[in-house]
Amino acid sequence: MPSPLRQSPAKRGFTLIELLVVIAIIAVLIALLLPAVQSAREAARRIQCTNNLKQLALASHNYADANLCFPRGTFYMWPLTCNRWKQGASFYMALVNYIEEAQAFNAYNSQLHPYQADNTTVITLGLSALWCPSDAEVSTPTLADIPRNFLGGCSGMPGGLVVTPAWRLQHTSYGGSSGPIPATPNGPDATFDPNYTSKIAQAMGVINFGSTTTIGAITDGTSNTFLIGERCFSKIKPATGKPVWMFWYSGAHSDSMTTTMVPLNSWKLANFTDPATQQDLGIGGGGNATIAGAGSNHPGGANFAMADGSVRFIKDTIQTWQYDPTTLLPIGVTFSGFAGTTANSYTIAPGTIQGVYQSLSTRAGGEVISADAY
């Protein structure tokens, strides 16, 4: 019979060393799993971005079915409060009714410039279909009590137009593909710009100033031609671009169109990292390489909607043309400057070699591009 005085052994707890080992193991597991979780989240964001571009591509084709051509990039208007011609609405205004944004379509007065007060109901709408989920800052509106983009360069208005309450101007992560040369005439016809015809001839993308591109005009093949590409609002330097660029409703080139003149994800390249060195290039009628070019926050490249309605992920290692490190222009391309009516006028030397990236943005360049090249 056991002695009633015998005591059972005391229960043993964790030692400090054991506790630290367990904590260390948990920390290692978190460190291993966190990148996987982040990758899964990014994969989901990239899929949503692909869906956005797919929706825009289908809307463009529905528009083309109804109007026999893809929507034009923009056109010139003479705003009632501005004493000069300015780019009017973006091509997105032609698509809003095809992406279930009837409120924007019904509220927009096409007889007035987008920046006139009567259209503030539309320009202050944020359209999630135009926002890449990986472009975190694009959904944050610009508060403009003096709408600089509208009033920039307008004569007779030195003080600007103060609006109360401030306009909440909305942005986009996507731009119509205008090709290697961002053609922007200085007026609606040759009366206002003697180089009008030559500039328009350089517009080789599907969506350009004044374009009426039909599917039949895309002789390079719709599956090998960019229609709409990603851009990254979050990469714009706050002081030099966020208040005035990438507005979804504006037809200014660096608002709603994008060019392949500069490399994809140009901010990753040493020569293109300082926006201050690019302000005089005149890319797309304004803005630097980050603003005018395509790119994204997706690792390794960006999504593009092709002219056949498909969406492709283009790696930023894609072959592109060579650049002059001094001018940051492609070798063989010169820019005339901003003087007079020659503003935004580019000259391409005969024999200039384009890269695969530039060739994908031309609708009728005659290039033969293999799918394994991109």
In the predicted structure, residue 33 carries a pLDDT above the cut 80: no
In this predicted model, what pLDDT tens digit does every residue of 70-111 receive, in sequence order? 999 999 888 776 777 888 999 999 999 999 888 888 999 999
In the predicted structure, residue 61 carries a pLDDT above the cut 80: yes
Cα-Cα end-to-end distance for the chain: 86
Residue 206: predicted pLDDT: 97
Q: Which residue has the higher pLDDT, 103 or 61?
A: 61
Residue given tokens 């000069």 in the structure block:
84
Residue 158: predicted pLDDT: 39
- Return the closest-CA partner of residue 232 out of 169, 174, 276, 301: 174
In this predicted model, what pLDDT tens digit does every residue of 288-329 receive, in sequence order? 788 889 999 999 999 999 999 999 999 999 999 999 887 788
Structural tokens at position 38: 């982040």
Average pLDDT over residues 244-254: 88
Residue 313: predicted pLDDT: 96
In this predicted model, what pLDDT tens digit does every residue of 123-150 receive, in sequence order? 899 999 999 999 999 999 988 765 554 5
Q: Which residue has the higher pLDDT, 220 or 40?
A: 220
In this predicted model, what pLDDT tens digit does every residue of 167-206 receive, in sequence order? 888 999 999 999 999 888 888 888 888 888 888 888 899 9
CB-count exposure of residue 199 (10 Å: 0-12, 13-18, 19+): buried
pTM summary value: 0.85
Q: Which residue has the higher pLDDT, 12 or 179?
A: 179
Phi, psi of 279 (to 5 degrees): -65, -25
Query: What does the mean pLDDT of the chain come to?
Result: 83
In the predicted structure, residue 20 carries a pLDDT above the cut 80: yes
Residue 282: predicted pLDDT: 52
List the alpha helices (DSSP H) in 219-286: 253-256
In the predicted structure, residue 350 carries a pLDDT above the cut 50: yes
Residue 271: predicted pLDDT: 75
Pairing of strands 167-169, 226-230: unpaired
Q: 302 to each of 22, 156, 178, 207, 289, how far by Cα in Å?
A: 41, 42, 16, 19, 15
- CB contact at 8 A, 196 and 189: yes
- Confidence category of residue 12, pLDDT binned at 50, 70, 90: low
- Confidence category of residue 242, pLDDT binned at 50, 70, 90: confident
- CB contact at 8 A, 151 and 113: no
Structural tokens at position 370: 């293999």
